Amino acid sequence: MVRHDILYLLAAHPEENVSGERISQQLNVTRAAIWKQIKILKEEGFDIEAQTKNGYRLLKTPLSLNEWVLKQVLSTHSLGCVIDFVEELSSTNDRAKELARQGAVHGQIVLAGRQSSGRGRLQRQWESPKGGLWMSVVLRPNLSLADASKITLAASVAIVDSLKELFQLPIGIKWPNDLVFKGQKIAGILGEVVGEWNAVQTLILGIGINVNFPRERLNNTFTGTTLYEILRYEVDLNLLAAGVLKHLEKELMSLEKKEFEELRLKWSERAIGLGEGVRILRGDQVIEGVFKGISIDGALLLETEGGERSFSAGEVQLRSKQGTYF
């Protein structure tokens, strides 16, 4: 794409202005065509100095998601190898599923500026206004069906580690896979198997992080927060996406080496509420006990009066004794 070639050229000369004539010769396009592309790049959020005499200089890349910028900051081998960015989608998971059925490769990602019908688990609504990181990754890992649930554990660890690395934020994991800051949910994960897992072994991993928008954009029926709310400035969504994918790739590689116990320990180190009294809601039933940890498959282990019991994420909900997030 000419637009991207112009960017490569400008990025290679950060300290100087590149003349329209030089770009025109090097890329074999007219100066009018270059001007048109520069205009589009500016609309996409690139800060480009344009002087009739001296030519062009790239001053700043956009903080919003942009395929070219993301490619520059990605450090992964396979995750993000193909990027599908759409300004608005119903759900990135739905689009990724569709692409997976059409043969998308392992690591292909789908990103949306906003989602009109973002989904949580059990068909719950996931609010996805502009400014968030709404991303799905097509995974065809070398793992069995039984190990699929471990991928969401790995994703939780990856999100915590990337937010710590980039912004020094202490994010905790609330079982099974909510990411919370001071009790308020900042990110969620939705893992979905495509077709018959045994036959095709494809998992769509949806990751949603509330980033560059204030808390008011979210419904007040739940306790949520955003990075903007915490940091009070907007961050580069491309850097964040690249950071999450880097940590996710690392965790997936260790999962494929069957390092399950390492993952369980890492998850536990980042979890909140371990050793505390919790309530498990299963339909009308309330079971009280102490949160002892998770099994190798991510099931919650609860110490009750009648002994230790384990619960899988699909069947129960967890609450602190006060009825709030712990």
Chain residues that interact with ligand BT5, rule: CB under 6 A: 91-93, 115, 118-122, 124-128, 134-136, 178, 185, 188-190, 206-208, 210, 218, 222, 224
**Torsion angle of C-alpha atoms 175, 178, 183, 187, degrees rounded to 10:** 170
Measured from the CB atom, the residue of 68 and 213 that comes closer to ligand BT5 is 213
Measured from the CB atom, the residue of 128 and 162 that comes closer to ligand BT5 is 128
CB of 126 to ligand BT5, least distance (A): 4
Of all helices (H) and strands (E), which one includes residue 155? Answer: helix 149-167
- On the CB side of 204, CA atoms within 13 Å amount to 29
CB of 110 to ligand BT5, least distance (A): 8
**Torsion angle of C-alpha atoms 83, 86, 87, 93, degrees rounded to 10:** -90
Measured from the CB atom, the residue of 118 and 141 that comes closer to ligand BT5 is 118
Measured from the CB atom, the residue of 62 and 183 that comes closer to ligand BT5 is 183
Closest residue to ligand BT5, judged by C-beta, is 188
Euclidean distance between CA atoms 218 and 180, whole angstroms:
15
CB of 209 to ligand BT5, least distance (A): 8
Measured from the CB atom, the residue of 34 and 153 that comes closer to ligand BT5 is 153
CB of 230 to ligand BT5, least distance (A): 13
Measured from the CB atom, the residue of 136 and 238 that comes closer to ligand BT5 is 136
Euclidean distance between CA atoms 184 and 324, whole angstroms:
10
CB of 182 closer than 8 Å to CB of 224: no
DSSP code per residue over 97-129: HHHHHTTPPTT-EEEEEEESS-B-GGG-B----
Measured from the CB atom, the residue of 124 and 257 that comes closer to ligand BT5 is 124
Per-residue CA distances from 91 to 63, 125, 136 (Å): 22, 11, 9
Euclidean distance between CA atoms 136 and 97, whole angstroms:
9
CB of 246 to ligand BT5, least distance (A): 18
CB of 138 to ligand BT5, least distance (A): 12
CB of 217 to ligand BT5, least distance (A): 9
CB of 282 to ligand BT5, least distance (A): 16
Measured from the CB atom, the residue of 37 and 225 that comes closer to ligand BT5 is 225
State residue 28 phi and psi, 5-degree precision: 60, 45
Which of 185, 192, 117, 187 has its CA nearest to residue 149?
192
For 20, residues 6+ apart whose C-beta sits below 8 A from its C-beta are 31, 34, 35, 55, 56
Which of 187, 178, 193 has its CA nearest to residue 147?
193
CB of 176 to ligand BT5, least distance (A): 8
- Within 10 Å of residue 71's Cβ, how many Cβ atoms? 14
Measured from the CB atom, the residue of 188 and 273 that comes closer to ligand BT5 is 188
- On the CB side of 1, CA atoms within 13 Å amount to 9
